[in-house]
Amino acid sequence: MMFKSLFIFLFAAIILIGNAALSENTTLQEQEGESSVQTQTFVSNDSGYTVEFPEQWEVMKGVMGTDVVALAPKLDPEDLFRENVNIIFTQLEFPITKEEYYGFNLKSLEQLLVDFDLEESTDVQIDGVDARVIVFTHTMAIVNAKVMQYLILDENRAYVMTFTSDPIDFESYRPKFEEITNSFRFKR
């Protein structure tokens, strides 16, 4: 049962997202940051975090098991793919070490995704909590994707923050993905 829950949790983290409305336990606030770039702050009281997205991104709550999904604007009206981020939270009901959690997630990705190719795996900290960031490519139907995924385990609270891009555009979006990650704060 433990691995089934983690499997469902991970699988939902890699799905392309549709539309949803904001719930009452979530707020979205516009803010002007130090760099004069307008942002919108997503607050999840239930999952215990805040994160900032660029103002122009479409932000949706509760889509297909996610806490939040944010879609970048299309660069061209002909674009078939919108770069995106989604965050999934789960309250774990069993103890698991960070290495077990990271290993299980990686093994699941290898089994679930077509043409999975791990390019990077690095330990980082997000708001003072140890995490692992992985970068990989895969194919979903006819779409090639490059993904940067943060795996965060804070005691019995697990978060997966997934950024997905067209491989051609990944390096141009990476600074924006990292800026979003750096805005992630736990509500303690």
* Calpha distance 122→76 (Å, rounded): 33
pLDDT band at 142 (very low <50, low <70, confident <90, very high): confident
Estimate the crossing angle of helix 98-112 against helix 2-13, to 10 degrees: 60
Q: Are strands 157-165 and 185-186 parallel, antiparallel or unpaired?
A: unpaired
Amino acid at 79: D
Handedness of CA 160, 163, 166, 167 (dihedral sign): negative
Amino acid at 114: V
Confidence (pLDDT) at 32: 43
- The DSSP call for residue 36 is S
Run of H or E including 46:
none
pLDDT digits (tens, 9 = 90+) for 156-167: 899 999 999 999
Amino acid at 80: L
* Calpha distance 156→88 (Å, rounded): 14
The yes-or-no verdict on residue 139 having pLDDT over 50 is yes
* Calpha distance 169→182 (Å, rounded): 20
* Calpha distance 102→120 (Å, rounded): 13
- CATH fold label, 2-186: Protein Transport Mog1p; Chain A (3.40.1000)
What percent of the chain has pLDDT above 70?
80
pTM of the model: 0.82
